[in-house]
Structure 1
């Protein structure tokens, strides 16, 4: 096998609580991660030298700082592998949307190259590498919907409902440090158990970043208000994407037909097993 084409799926934060702030500036979180059957695609072709190429270049992102390239370099370094790869990215997810696109790209690179380079490396080891690239990378590596704590790296697999979603990006660029640095951000939500969160269900789930993002970025608030006319809506991550949960696909189609021309929107189905793991034929993570 010299070439692979693999999905890099989006994720939603179905719930996001901020329970504290650590001395290093990171925030303690509780969240529910779920995958979508929509995302980017990476085509990886093995090279016999150690060169890593990526096409096309992403606007405003230097080649060597791109998470795809960093993931490939890190895997080379830690495994001692002397092979390389030509990687082509088909980008569908909006950058900075709270859908985990960059982290998902990194995870697909790690798992795809481990397969392409025929490395004997566990998911745990790949997740540890992924954590060096970003707090959201491990959930994409392990490939199952999860309750997450810490900075998002302590994962417990869960089974969530798998409805249809409409996801809207209102064309707003959000600076995540500005959100987490805002004085009005809720940082003292009382921790709850995973069992309680799952028992309460979607009608009770919230995102602690949402009030702050509404104040800082009125365009996100407009999208939330508009989407909430159809179904209860929520911010994912720090945004800018917002989403609503729906029972039927035709409901999603009806909403998409009315979306503002200046917004990027799509429908997707929730998935508890990552489309990446399905494509690779991997068993469920044993975490």
Structure 2
């Protein structure tokens, strides 16, 4: 069944608008190049991150017993593997905070979709509890904590579209256009580790600049490999291309996307999406919805 997911249409929109829920927005990699591989196995990359106005939502109930509990529908996940629990515990230990929290995650982004769901959830936990516990860490300090949880967590903490280099930790604020996107999940979970460990992955991209990206001299070097390993992703890319769109893949996949002229065009294309896939219409956001929520809390 085709689905449109947007904060304005969710069951928990009232909670978000009332200042209760905290968003964990999706991200897109507008391009992804790998420029090398470090001795420790991590890849050097270049990418441009932009947020979407779709994502997961989290509610927090602060407690005075120091206990951290996470409520969600991700079955069989141990606390030590739960990024929300790990983020809360890391902030608690790093600041000596004696308060606890009950975290309710409303998971809507697909796992293994390249939309950054787990990293975004962890960043929202750090940002929200830093405010709710009044632990008073700066965004730079929160981002440093987040980097130990995952390479993409800092971008979500900083909450600003950014050009990223290194393993994703070197960020420069960016202001790309904010179009309406059609995002498609072709129903497969792409294992990032499988992609980055494959010997066929291109790791020798020459460094580029923002001007190169604007001129169209950028792409996603993971796409050919993911097409081979996960044919469903290639089918979704081809479907978008055949519809006259410039189809792209985010991260290591599996989600693909295209910028559309307006909301109506995106909705029309969404209506023709094959029933085996899930799709969303979303607007690109250079300031994350998480920052909007933090400003609401602070005001």
Unaligned runs of 5+ in 1: 283-287
1:254 and 2:268 matched: yes
Give me the whole-angstrom Cα distance separating, in 2, the residues matched to 1:59 and 1:260.
29
Cα deviation, residue 148, structure 1? 0.1
Quote the residue 2:251 is aligned against. 237
Q: TM-score, normalised by structure 1?
A: 0.94
Quote the residue 2:279 is aligned against. 265
SS at structure 1 position matched to 2:32:
strand
Which residue, 151, 164, 167 being the options, matches 2:183? Answer: 167
Contact residue 4 and residue 45 of structure 1 kept, 8 A = no
SS at structure 2 position matched to 1:53:
strand
SS at structure 2 position matched to 1:39:
strand
SS at structure 2 position matched to 1:133:
coil
Quote the residue 1:285 is aligned against. none
| Aligned 1:1-287 pairs, distance under 5 A | 4-197=20-213, 199-200=214-215, 203-230=216-243, 231-281=245-295
Contact residue 4 and residue 112 of structure 1 kept, 8 A = no
Give me the whole-angstrom Cα distance separating, in 2, the residues matched to 1:221 and 1:60.
31
**4+ residue stretches of structure 1 with deviation over 4 A?**
none
Give me the whole-angstrom Cα distance separating, in 1, the residues matched to 2:198 and 2:156.
28
Give me the whole-angstrom Cα distance separating, in 2, the residues matched to 1:143 and 1:176.
23
Quote the residue 2:5 is aligned against. none
Contact residue 165 and residue 243 of structure 1 kept, 8 A = yes
The C-alpha deviation readout for 1:98-144, integer Å capped at 9, x for no partner, is 00000000000000001110111100000000000000000000010
Contact residue 95 and residue 101 of structure 1 kept, 8 A = yes
Cα deviation, residue 14, structure 1? 0.2
Q: TM-score, normalised by structure 2?
A: 0.90
SS at structure 2 position matched to 1:243:
strand
Once superposed, what is the RMSD of the aligned Cα atoms?
1.3
Q: How many residues align?
A: 277
Contact residue 57 and residue 63 of structure 1 kept, 8 A = no
Unaligned runs of 5+ in 2: 1-18
SS at structure 1 position matched to 2:45:
strand
The C-alpha deviation readout for 1:208-229, integer Å capped at 9, x for no partner, is 1001000111111001101112
